[in-house]
Chains A and B, each alone.
Chain A
């Protein structure tokens, strides 16, 4: 039983660390802000979540200490992670950060132009 719980904990923490490493590599390798936001908002959320689950299981099953604060932390990460990605990409687009040249289609440009004209910016 001890071996089983230990391996589950190790599995979760390993997956979490792998996803965080992928986030870091993605932030270096991907060409522009918008593709980097993909790596940052998805992999980081799941990576930190997996590590927190591993820590929670370790303290619950092995040290016999049930800590609901970790579960609340997971919930808050879920709520705030995607909002952060959304706000950063949106404000960069409005501030005029150009997408990568390989971008094949841009429906958003005209919409932002229209919005700026309406509000009298530029």
Chain B
């Protein structure tokens, strides 16, 4: 990814020198032309085009903002309910992520989303212990995390 980014920057500078237009507009035009060139040459790149990765990151951010707002509405409902009848629980969540930054990102996202706070990460980093404020079905909660966040993070990190 960093190699592709560097190539794109280099192409943008080449364009600036070719057109002897040393302004930010010239740089942006060169950068866009560089993306087109990289797209045309994508067969020779070892990893996939970095634009896909940037797009996956944008999707992850959107998902996160949506879940953050939902989380707060849920906490608001729990707190303002006249009777406290929630069922808190600690459950283990087995994760398939391996890199440390992925696990950190997943823990932060789980903590800021509806009804869950990560309490402990096991020593081998294969299990997250999550505290849920209101648990009706553990398997359902696990599946929800797996299908939304873990999938989005995998999409970002795949090369």
Contact B135 A82 (CB under 8 A): no
Most buried by A among B75, B78, B84: B75
Q: A38-B117, A82-B112 are in contact. Are A43 and B72 (CB under 8 A)?
A: yes
Partner of A111, one of B69, B118, B129, B135: B129
- B5 near A: Cβ within 8 Å? no
Residues of B within 8 A of A78 (CB): 112
Give the Cβ gap from A108 to chain B, nearest Cβ, in Å. 4
Give the Cβ gap from A121 to chain B, nearest Cβ, in Å. 15
Give the Cβ gap from A35 to chain B, nearest Cβ, in Å. 6
Contact A82 B88 (CB under 8 A): no
Q: Which residue of chain A has the shortest Cβ distance to B85 in the bound complex?
A: A102
Q: Which residue of chain B has the shortest Cβ distance to A109 in the bound complex?
A: B90
Q: A104-B135, A108-B129 are in contact. Are A82 and B108 (CB under 8 A)?
A: yes
Contact A46 B90 (CB under 8 A): no
Residues of A within 8 A of B8 (CB): none
- A31 near B: Cβ within 8 Å? yes
Q: How far apart sit A48 and B85, CA to CA, in the bound complex (Å)?
A: 28
Residues of A within 8 A of B68 (CB): 42, 45-46
Number of interface residues, chain B, beta carbon within 8 A: 34
Residues of A within 8 A of B7 (CB): none
- B111 near A: Cβ within 8 Å? yes
Q: How far apart sit A81 and B117, CA to CA, in the bound complex (Å)?
A: 12
Q: A85-B117, A86-B117 are in contact. Are A106 and B90 (CB under 8 A)?
A: yes
B residues lining the A interface (CB < 8 Å): 68-69, 71-72, 75-76, 78-80, 84, 86-92, 107-108, 111-112, 115, 117-120, 122-123, 127, 129, 131, 133, 135, 138
A residues lining the B interface (CB < 8 Å): 19, 22, 25-26, 29-32, 34-35, 37-39, 41-43, 45-46, 78-79, 81-83, 85-86, 89-90, 93, 99-100, 102-109, 111-112, 115
12 chain-A/chain-B pairs, Cβ below 8 angstroms? A31-B84, A41-B112, A42-B75, A42-B112, A45-B112, A82-B111, A86-B119, A90-B120, A93-B120, A99-B90, A104-B89, A108-B90
